[in-house]
Structures are given as C-alpha cells and as structure tokens.
C-alpha cells in the first residue's frame, strides 16, 4: 500500500490501492481531469471534520455536476454502477475487511 498527499479534507495522507483485484486507484485533486464525460466513482467531502464518503458524480467534460468531489476513480455507464464501485473501493475499509 502506498500513500500520497491528500486534500485538507482528508488529513495529511490517505491510503490508496493500485488497481489489483477489485481495488482501484483514486485520483485526488483537479488534475488530471477525467478522460471522458460520464458517471464516475468518487469520494465526496462535505465537511473537513467528517472526512470523505464514497459516492457517484457526473463529469460533463468540463466540470463535476457535484461540487463536493475531492477524488475520482473509474467511469461507469450508470449512476448506480459508479456508486456501487465507489462503495466497493471505500479507502476507509481495510482490504481484508471486504466481502
């Protein structure tokens, strides 16, 4: 497991996993933006005290339709599929604790 600097919302660092098995890499910040419009698995931050929550958000090719996005993962065809992928790859749940 590697660490990378994270936005203030996430504290000093956050653990992320490379894309092996069911784990994907989370991309933090605004650069690089997603490659194509669509629904993405995302991490959302509403309050710096609360940390991040997994979810889904739509990228329109220029901006997120949801303003609380602090990280994104892989693109999916539907909102539901993106949401499920985000929850399946929640960085707050240890890998060994996954079903």
Distances (CA, A) of 81 to 1, 32, 71, 72: 25, 22, 17, 14
Instruction: For the chain, give the mean pLDDT.
Output: 77
Global pTM value = 0.73
| Residue whose tokens read 């994270």 | 6
What local confidence, expressed as pLDDT, does residue 1 receive? 37
List the strands of the sheet with 38-47, edge to edge. 27-28, 69-76, 38-47, 51-59
What local confidence, expressed as pLDDT, does residue 93 receive? 78
What local confidence, expressed as pLDDT, does residue 8 receive? 53
What local confidence, expressed as pLDDT, does residue 39 receive? 97
Name the helix (H) or strand (E) containing 59: strand 51-59
Low-confidence ranges of the chain (pLDDT < 70): 1-23, 95-99
Measure the CA–CA gap between 59 and 63, rounded to whole angstroms: 6
Please tell me what DSSP assigns to residue 62: S
């Amino acid at each position: 497991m590697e660490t990378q600097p994270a936005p203030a919302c996430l504290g000093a660092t956050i653990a992320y996993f490379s894309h092996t098995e069911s784990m994907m890499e989370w991309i933090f910040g605004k650069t690089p933006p997603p490659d194509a419009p669509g629904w993405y698995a995302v991490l959302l931050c509403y309050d710096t005290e609360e940390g991040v929550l997994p979810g889904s958000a739509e990228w329109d090719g220029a901006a997120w339709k949801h303003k609380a996005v602090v990280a994104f993962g892989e693109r999916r065809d539907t909102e539901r599929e993106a949401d499920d992928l985000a929850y399946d790859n929640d960085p707050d749940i240890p890998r060994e604790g996954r079903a």
